[in-house]
Amino acid sequence: MNQLEKILSQSITLFFIVPLAAFLLTQFFDNKKEKITGTIVRIAKVFYMLAAISFAIGWGVNGFSPISFKLVTLYQTEHFVFAINFHYDKITAVFSIVGSLIFFLVATFSKYYMHRDEGYKRYFSIILLFAAGYNFIIFSGNFETLFIGWETKGLCSFLLIAFYRNRYLPVKNAFKTISYYRISDVAMMLVMWMMHHLTHQNISFTQLGEAKEIAEQTNHTGMAVFIMSMLLLAAFIKSAQVPFTSWLPRAMEGPTSSSAIFYGSLSVHVGVFVLLRTYPFWQDMLWVKILVISIGALTAIIATLIARVQPTVKTQIAYSSAAQIGIIFIEVALGLHWLALIHFAGNAFLRTYQLLVSPSFLNYLVHHQYFHYHTQQEKPVGRLRTGLYMLGIKEWNMDALMYKYVWSPFKWIGRKLNPLQNQAAVILFAILALASLYFSHSKAGFITENKTILSVIMLSLALLSVLFAFTYRGSALKAWIYIFISHLFIFSGLLRNSTDVHAAEGMFYNIGITAAFLLGLFCLITTKKADNHISLNQFHGYVYEQKPTALLFLVSAIAMLGFPITTAFIGIDVFFTYVNSDQWLLITLLALCFIFIELSAIRIYLRIYCGPHKKLNHPVAFRSS
């Protein structure tokens, strides 16, 4: 490694330190200090743009050779290494430069667009956190580092969709979007799980070619198929490809400027980045290429037909962007990577421009229509065109189909668990969870002989607990307790399934989850004292009166699911490796548990602290607003 490459490697960390430092600095000033907040953001955006361009120039001077750099190893055992790795090549260069320029444009526009908004500081804090998460993704050198940015970006997306948190539709659509995101999160966790069992190590992206050879040499093609299936699922959801496209227009509920940087330009192209980065692993898999091309073409056609008949400009732009990303997917599958990168840059800048000027454009169209309106002449319309028009208006029923076949069955199960709302049932389940934890830790007799069966039973109980919390409309305290009980059952089941769990790993998991539970419990009890009513049957909007409590509960909710602010993040990642590659029932139950744990925790936050306030002395927006 020459001197220039060494300097470049060590300076990568600035892409995360500066936006994170700016994010932390903004927390010390209130919303009225717009000049101070604006100055902090201005320094961050200028640095980001100059750093991205300077780094690319330095990389070019160094001969365009890829740069790999390990920052730190967070945890290591004989069979597991959790390290923060970075990688820089042509893919990172393009995504970094485009991201920095769009961040600069949107941040500059937002300074004026968000002026005097009650959420001015909150908006820029989330944007700065998003910049750090985005850089974690594009600079990632392994799946673990990518996943940190993946989770951070998902959280920022959720917070900006629900930015107008006193309204019904932003809150509802934020929850709908994060439900899609959570499936992609767990899919990425399953990719890491199976890749670990395939290679028996935590590999970097530069070793993906070796991983493919291992799968071929050891006849583990089934593992490779599973890895790619989950990887494609994660990429399709993040980039809003069919049949997951319907979340993208719902995500436009946030401020127009946030829609520009998230769903028009950067965030929605993350699926493209994942496919480009992992291409060495699947470049010889013909079925993957056929599937990517098919889904990309189908999305391009369907999204175009939907966009042409939508009545709102944001929805038109959302579906147009999804259609272009479908074409980019085709280019990636055909190996036309430079074309895909150029297409990404063009689509990102175009959608950013369209969204930022959309308010002015609508004003012009209304003015033009008022003075130059002409009645359209009626023309005969064929059945095919009429059918496509109706399908476009209904968005091809993708939302309804997802609800009916994905979410509805689990809601049905959760509603059948109504007996769990009794006080006796709560106590019984808590005792059962603690007893299972004790016997799993003691590894006694009968339990040792039937460890797989008992692990399945424990994880089944965990899933039942969290499904009840997901559908329960009574006390938020009970739902929160059942989420914690589900974690106890998960830990017991995984502890029972393996004989070599390290004590440190158990502490990572338990300390993080227990601290999150206690913090959330404190917040809910504090809120209940104020009004003695925290039912999940309606929105309460307590963020009006209890902003600090609402923030603390949000922290506890994301910590409960293992967000990278708690030790549970490492513990959950490590614990997945203790499920063997042939234990399909066990990994399915575990994946479902972690999907619904996040949704249940976020649902409590939204119902108690967001939405229209139930008291009439606060302004309440109409449901249709």
Task: Report the interhelical angle of 120-138 vs 90-113 (nearest 10°).
Answer: 180
Percent of the chain with pLDDT over 90: 39
Identify any residues that bridge with 68 across adjacent strands, giving them in sequence order: 87
Q: With the CA atoms of 54, 60, 66 and 69 taken in that order, what torsion angle do they form, in degrees rounded to the nearest 10? A: -30
Look at residue 625 and tell me whether its pLDDT is greater than 50. no
- Mean pLDDT across the stretch 45-68? 90
Q: For residue 270, with 0-12 CB atoms within 10 Å meaning exposed, 13-18 middle and 19 or more buried, which class applies?
A: buried
Preceding amide of 243 cis, omega within 30: yes
Q: Are residues 119 and 260 in the same domain?
A: yes
Which of 137-146, 364-373, 377-386 has the largest mean confidence?
A: 137-146
- Mean pLDDT across the stretch 1-15? 83
Look at residue 620 and tell me whether its pLDDT is greater than 60. no
Q: Tokens in use for 578?
A: 């203790």
Q: Tokens in use for 201?
A: 């190590």
Is 586:456 a contact under the CB 8 Å cutoff? yes
E strand spans, 400-498: none
Q: Are residues 284 and 166 in the same domain?
A: yes
Among candidate residues 365, 395, 426, the one where a domain is terminated: 365
Q: Are residues 324 and 453 in the same domain?
A: no
Is residue 619 situated within a structural domain? no
pLDDT tens readout for residues 170-208: 899 999 999 999 999 999 999 998 988 888 888 888 888
- Mean pLDDT across the stretch 573-594? 87
Q: Are residues 111 and 176 in the same domain?
A: yes
- Its sign, for the CA torsion 405, 407, 408, 409, is positive
Count other Cβ atoms within 10 Å, centred on residue 622. 9
Enumerate helices (H) and strands (E) in the chain, giving the number of each: 27, 2
Q: Are residues 254 and 323 in the same domain?
A: yes
- The amino acid occupying position 328 is I
Helix (H, G, I), strand (E, B) or coil at 67: strand
Among candidate residues 306, 335, 365, the one where a domain is terminated: 365
Q: Over 509-577, what HEC string results?
A: HHHHHHHHHHHHHHHHHHHHHHHCCCECCCCCCHHHCCHHHHHHHHHHHHHHCCCCCCCHHHHHHHHHC
Residue 474 to residue 477: CA distance in whole angstroms: 9
Look at residue 9 and tell me whether its pLDDT is greater than 50. yes
pLDDT tens readout for residues 65-119: 888 888 888 877 777 778 888 999 999 999 999 999 999 999 888 888 888 878 8
Look at residue 446 and tell me whether its pLDDT is greater than 60. no
Q: Are residues 352 and 426 in the same domain?
A: no
Q: Tokens in use for 219?
A: 């006849």
Is 420:429 a contact under the CB 8 Å cutoff? yes
Count other Cβ atoms within 10 Å, centred on residue 75. 18
Tokens 């049957």 locate to 537
Is residue 443 situated within a structural domain? yes
pLDDT at position 445, please?
45
- Mean pLDDT across the stretch 131-147? 91
Q: Are residues 298 and 444 in the same domain?
A: no
Is residue 469 situated within a structural domain? yes
Q: Are residues 329 and 453 in the same domain?
A: no
Tokens 């095919």 locate to 384
Task: Report the interhelical angle of 143-161 vs 270-277 (nearest 10°).
Answer: 170
Q: Cβ neighbours of residue 20 under 8 Å, at least 6 residues apart?
A: 128, 129, 132
Identify any residues that bridge with 73 across adjacent strands, giving them in sequence order: 83
Q: Cβ neighbours of residue 484 under 8 Å, at least 6 residues apart?
A: 513, 517, 560
pLDDT tens readout for residues 222-254: 889 999 999 999 999 999 999 999 899 888 888
Among candidate residues 332, 365, 398, the one where a domain is terminated: 365
Q: Which domain holds residue 593?
A: 416-609
Q: Are residues 446 and 355 in the same domain?
A: no
Is residue 387 situated within a structural domain? no
Q: Are residues 432 and 284 in the same domain?
A: no
Is 560:520 a contact under the CB 8 Å cutoff? yes
Q: Which helix (H) or strand (E) holds 71?
A: strand 67-76
Look at residue 508 and tell me whether its pLDDT is greater than 90. no
The per-residue pLDDT of the chain, averaged, comes to 86
- Neighbour-count burial for 599-620, b at 16+ CB within 10 Å, e otherwise: bbbbbbbbbbbbbbbeeeeeeb
Is residue 457 situated within a structural domain? yes
- C-alpha distances (whole Å) from 439 to each of 27, 232, 484, 489 are 45, 39, 18, 12
DSSP letters along 122-178, please? HHHHHHHHHHHHHHHHHTBSBHHHHHHHHHHHHHHHHHHHTSSTTSHHHHHHHHHHH
pLDDT at position 621, please?
57
Q: Are residues 497 and 353 in the same domain?
A: no
Mean pLDDT is lowest, of 2-16, 358-372, 412-426, 518-532, for 358-372
Is residue 127 situated within a structural domain? yes
Is residue 588 situated within a structural domain? yes
Number of domains in the chain: 2
pLDDT at position 518, please?
94
Q: Are residues 311 and 421 in the same domain?
A: no
67-76/81-88 β-pairing: antiparallel
Helix (H, G, I), strand (E, B) or coil at 68: strand
Look at residue 448 and tell me whether its pLDDT is greater than 70. no
pLDDT tens readout for residues 359-371: 766 666 666 666 6
Is residue 515 situated within a structural domain? yes
